[in-house]
Amino acid sequence: MSDYDVLAIGNAIVDIIAQCDEAFLVENRIIKGAMNLIDTERAELLYARMGPAIEASGGSAGNTAAGVASFGGRAAFFGKVSKDELGAIYAHDIRAQGVAFDTDPLDGPPPTARSMIFVTPDGERSMNTYLGACVELGPEDVEATKARGARVIYFEGYLWDPPRAKEAIRLAAGHAHAAGREVSMTLSDPFCVDRYRDEFLDLMRSGTVDIVFANDHEMKSLYQTASFEMALEALRRDCRIAAVTRSEKGSVVVRGDETFIIEATPVATIVDTTGAGDLYAAGFLFGYTAGYDLQRCGDLGSLAAGLVIQQIGPRPRQNLRDEAAKAGLL
């Protein structure tokens, strides 16, 4: 019996979300649709220029952990905050959503991370992230009992930016595999893939990572090809299971020679795509750790992603277990 279904490891970030027009992105030299790392000065400048905003606990892997809990799964999270106001907000929010979060906060600078997310009328989000305390996550923050006791460890590719986090990930993966558990990752962002292509491929080919999540842009960036089909065949060879999201085209799940085509959940209006990939992973991993077949795992991921993009913010307001039951998936 496992203690947790999913242990997520990632950057503990408070999201500050505001709507803007395309001109705002151009004027402020913001790369649309990407996660841009920024320093303290840039963070203060963009915050001053933001319109009315919503503050919410976020971070890619944290969103996934919250999604797993909303489905009724047992979720835990490793991530670093500081002993400051935003750190207290983050810890309260993720625990209130049913996620076990016991990482010791940083006593002193830098402050808790924050990401200023600008959402354009097409629902696309452009993230500008000050990592703050996140860069202090290290091996000492890996709780061995949780790492060994979770069915699947899930971590975000963004963690390859803070150097000590790599050590934490490898340590946690070692605990997991020694206990017969599995490890999964999300590629996170095409620019993140560009920075760490060789390392990501090594994680997959060495067996450190068993399950990979990506969108089609990230996958094509990983294999440096414009062909979806060629990239998918390469990914199929390099990892045991992969799930690739394709926005309105749904997603594709592959395992060996098997291919599962997942339909996109019908969406009335796209409001904000923040968290779509995170919630897809939540639904998939909830289903996977519950023993469902890969088709239903993909359907659960598609459902969660479709719900979250119809609202502002990365964590669905609906109870995902209830929504899955209504859809006939549970």
- What are 35-44's pLDDT values in tens digits? 888 998 898 8
**Would you say residue 145 lies in a domain?**
yes
Task: For residue 253, give its domain range.
Answer: 4-12+63-106+135-326
**Would you say residue 150 lies in a domain?**
yes
- Confidence band for 162, pLDDT divided at 50, 70 and 90: confident
Contacts of 174 (CB under 8 A, 6+ apart): none
**Would you say residue 86 lies in a domain?**
yes
- Count: domains in the chain: 1
**Would you say residue 45 lies in a domain?**
no
- Confidence band for 300, pLDDT divided at 50, 70 and 90: very high
**Would you say residue 193 lies in a domain?**
yes
**Would you say residue 233 lies in a domain?**
yes
- Confidence band for 1, pLDDT divided at 50, 70 and 90: low
**Would you say residue 169 lies in a domain?**
yes
C-alpha distance across the termini of the chain, in Å: 21
Max CA distance (Å), the chain: 54
Over residues 222-247, mean pLDDT: 96
pLDDT at 306 over 60: yes
Q: Report the CATH number at residue 201.
A: 3.40.1190.20
Contact 303, 327 (CB under 8 A): yes
